[in-house]
Amino acid sequence: MNLILSVLLALFLSVLGGLYLLGAFRRRRPGEPPLDRGLLPWLGHVLEFRRDTAKFLERMKEKHGDIFTVQLGGFYFTFIMDPLSFGSVVKEARAKLDFNEFAKKLVERVFGYYSMEGDHKFLQMYSNKHLMGDGLVVMTQAMMSNLQNLMLHSVGSGDHQNGWQEDGLFKYSYNIVFRAGYLALFGNETATKSGSLEKACKADRLESDELFYEFRKYDQLFPNLAYGVLGPSQKMEAERLKKIFWDMLSVQKMNNRDNISGWVLDQQQVRAENGMEEYMQNRFMFLLLWASQGNTGPSAFWLLLFLMKHPEAMKAVRAEVEQVLLESGQEVKRGGPLVDLTRDMLLKTPVLDSTVEETLRLTAAPVLTRAVLQDLSLKMADGCEYSIREGDRVALFPYTAVQMDPEVHPDPTTFKYDRFLTSNGERLTDFYKKGKKVKYYTMPWGAGVSMCPGRFFATNELKQFIFLLLSYFDFELKNPEVKIPDIDVRRWGFGSMQPTQDIPFKYRLKF
């Protein structure tokens, strides 16, 4: 009898211990935000969160207000939904709120990349050097010549398809912007190896298309991969694809390319100098490809679609493009040289800038996450302070919290190309909530330590793509009445959103 009792007691204690570890006994302490653990031990709300992050957070906000803690897959996340209080997270000292730890684990799982000491510092240093300031002039030039190769290679050759070509608008935009961005950053085929410049350009077109084809497969697996919920066959497919990228982007292959950007080259070299093995450097290359190419293509699609569905926006952007070209002394004409869009020209486009910003407000939706390294107190804009526990996470989802807030952006679901323009046609940065100025009024690039360092380059890529399309092509939707497709809600949290379906369109060179 004693033995049975001891076994039962041991069982009871281990169940209790298990439940404790699964977080089943966590209670809200005085001074902490409202706690919503969800019904499932350990998992908490993760299924609903994954199914539709925006909807789930709206529900929680309605239930609990501007700050709450929810359990998601073993972690307690405190979400802040008041944009006036974002500063307390974005500016909190790194010793308390840390981006690295969370990012490190994610890249290990998703890219098989194990970072080295100082990894993030190097990423920031070389991104600032090559994706901003003078570095951006070089990158913009490289993007331009690769866009010309992909979009305009048949201009003036006499053999180009003068007739209409049909494609999906999403596929076309993503394909062109991905490939040109990849070639601008990772370099071109060498003319000596290919035999001539013309052959090298052709090789670039073929190779980048192959890469895009594989990338899209990985792209589609990505959300489930990031959440660690791929089925066995999908897991195998993800592993197979990773190996393809590690090989295609390998340091060895890079050594045989021309025009590799300083951004890629410096980051590879610093890792080699610090003793990182070559196979791990190859994995890092894939991470760079992902960070640089996963968002801009989908954003190019939305930008182009919004323009095509809003004639007044298209008219205003077209007029601006023509004016900038005129002022630069260039002309788009049969037999003439291809137009060159420099960074300086791209600085004179407030209408297009506002259109890009509005597109991103509606379609870029990252979740920004920080690990809590020590107990801390978060002060909200209304003066209330909340205790946050070490080991938890703090997160922002600006899409729901500010980009769709009708008080900050009236009529938030409607595309208004001039939403970010003042009445003088300059950039508008004054937005208000409860009578107070909102500093973080749209956050497609994140904020603080992990803010996207590619944002200026990405914006230029989008603008160059639109410039060339407007200048050299006729294009229209196959069905002008077609509805703007819904956002694929499975991708909330991962940056630029994708549509649930593609839209047929046609295009042709003007001459």
- Write out the residues near ligand HEM by the rule CB under 6 A: 103, 120, 123-124, 127, 131, 291-292, 295-296, 299, 364, 366, 368, 444-446, 450, 452-454, 457-458, 495-496
Binding site for heme: what residues are annotated? Answer: 452
* Distance separating alpha carbons of residues 12 and 405, to the nearest angstrom: 49
Residue whose CB is less far from ligand HEM, 200 or 356? 356
> Within a 13 Å sphere around the CA of 235, how many CA atoms are in the beta-carbon half?
7
Closest C-alpha among 122, 186, 132, 92 to residue 445: 132
Asked if 313 contacts 276 with a C-beta cutoff of 8 angstroms, the reply is no
Amino acid present at 268: Q
Going by the annotation, the residues of the binding site are: 109, 295, 393, 452
Distance of CA 175 to the CA centre of its chain: 16
CA torsion, ordered 56, 58, 60, 61, to nearest 10 deg: 160
Between 71 and 140, name the residue whose CB sits nearer to ligand HEM. Answer: 140
DSSP state of 367: P
Cβ nearer to ligand HEM, comparing 282 with 296:
296
CA distance 33 to 82: 13
Distance CA 241, CA 235 (A): 10
Q: How far is the CB of 135 from ligand HEM (least distance, A)?
A: 11
Residue 183 vs 325, nearer CB to ligand HEM: 183
Please, what is the minimum distance in Å from the beta carbon of residue 395 to ligand HEM?
Answer: 10
* Binding residue numbers for substrate: 109, 295, 393
* C-alpha span between 61 and 50 (Å, rounded): 17
Cβ distance to ligand HEM smaller for residue 155 or 225: 225
CA distance 434 to 449: 28
Q: How far is the CB of 403 from ligand HEM (least distance, A)?
A: 12
What is the smallest separation between the CB atom of 171 and ligand HEM, expressed in angstroms? 17
What is the Cα–Cα distance from 220 to 306, expressed in whole angstroms? 23
Between 124 and 328, whose beta carbon lies closer to ligand HEM? 124
How far apart are CB 399 and ligand HEM at their closest, in Å?
11
Rounded to 5 degrees, φ, ψ at 505 are -145, 170
Instruction: Tell me whether residue 140 or residue 332 sits nearer to ligand HEM (CB atom).
Output: 140
CB 97 within 8 A of CB 86: no
We find the least distance from the C-beta atom of residue 455 to ligand HEM, in angstroms, to be 6
Contact criterion met (CB below 8 Å) for 321 and 346? no
CB of 124 to ligand HEM, least distance (A): 6
Unique residue bearing structure tokens 């300031």: 133
Mapped onto helix, strand or coil, the DSSP state of residue 5 is helix
Take residue 22 and report the two structure tokens written for it. 């699964």
SS3 assignment, position 93: coil
The CB-of-217 to ligand HEM minimum distance in angstroms stands at: 21
Phi, psi (deg, nearest 5) at residue 21: -65, -35
Give the residue among 176, 178, 166 at the shortest CA–CA distance from 477.
166
Residue 184 Cβ, how far from ligand HEM at the closest point, in Å?
9
Sorted by sequence, the CB contacts under 8 Å of residue 413 that are 6+ apart come out as 362, 404
By C-beta, is 103 or 304 nearer to ligand HEM?
103
Nearer to ligand HEM, 465 or 475 (CB): 465
**Residues in contact with 416: Cβ distance below 8 Å, sequence separation at least 6, in sequence order:** 358
Q: Which residue sits closest to ligand HEM, CB atoms considered?
A: 454
Minimum CB–partner distance for residue 227 and ligand HEM (Å): 15
Would you say 110 or 123 has its CB closer to ligand HEM?
A: 123
Tell me how many degrees the CA angle 79-80-83 measures, rounded to the nearest 5. 150
Helices (H), 337-454: 343-346, 350-363, 398
